[in-house]
Homo-oligomer: A and B are copies of this chain.
Amino acid sequence: MQAVRELDAGIVIIGNEILSGKTVDSNSPFLAKELRQVGVTLKRVIVIPDELDVIAATVRDFHQRFDVVFTSGGIGPTHDDITIEGVARALQRKVVRHPVLEEKLRGYLNGRPANDAYLKMADTPEGAELIADGKIRFPTIKAENIYILPGIPDIFRQKFLALKSRFSADPYHLKVLYTREYESRIAVFLNETLGEFPDLLLGSYPKNNDPEYRVKITLESKDQSYVDRAFTHLLSLLPQGCVVKTEG
């Protein structure tokens, strides 16, 4: 295979409301798709409670393990908004009030007094970078390789889209086929294909009760010709007539 530009990522979703089943996390599915589109390999998503020691330990682990880390949630004005403190602790930094953010927050009030809870939103891990962009109202806080994003889905999306151009790795090339055959009968051909193409990302996804197909098979690689050759190889092995359609 050719040398490829790789970048990997982890997502930390901070929120009791997801663990307790009150809310469904839509931020990680959104980000998974977006990252794939720009060739970034998402390695882990974790959902953790609003607990300082858990946030700090998890973020520290992800920070060391992955090229890029995104956190979602816990950055508002209330008692359960402890992500900034958690990230600071993960990086062994202090929490400081950022003058640029404080000015921005005071500006929104048009001279009305600011309370402590409100100004807490100007806190950052010491030495953090602010990423401003014409399209977003409030800068995104970045500490080391950690992008700290809000949990509210609209703002999460808006903020990521403003950051998106920063992330770029070689794209994945995907080919898909759908077959009427049972998964257990084609497993041998999948294994044989992997034997020939060991670096292939090969997925096999059975679907229950679909009139059209029984298994969806995905072949991926960052090397277009590699995935094309693997696809042709697999097609040549599969029983005549079992492939319903192909994509890519």
Contact = CB atoms under 8 A, between A and B. Distances in A.
Interface residues of A, number: 60
A46 B49 contact: no
Contacts of A48: 44
Contacts of A37: 21
A48 B10 CA distance: 10
A29 B19 contact: no
28 contacts: A17-B205, A18-B32, A19-B32, A19-B41, A19-B42, A19-B43, A19-B44, A21-B29, A21-B33, A21-B37, A22-B218, A23-B205, A24-B29, A43-B49, A45-B46, A76-B206, A78-B187, A78-B191, A79-B187, A79-B202, A80-B202, A115-B187, A117-B184, A117-B187, A121-B184, A152-B206, A152-B207, A152-B208
Given A45-B46, A46-B45, A218-B17, A204 B76 contact: yes
So how many copies of this chain end up in the complex?
2
A35 B37 CA distance: 34
A131 interface: no
Given A77-B187, A202-B79, A32 B20 contact: yes
Contacts of A154: 208-209
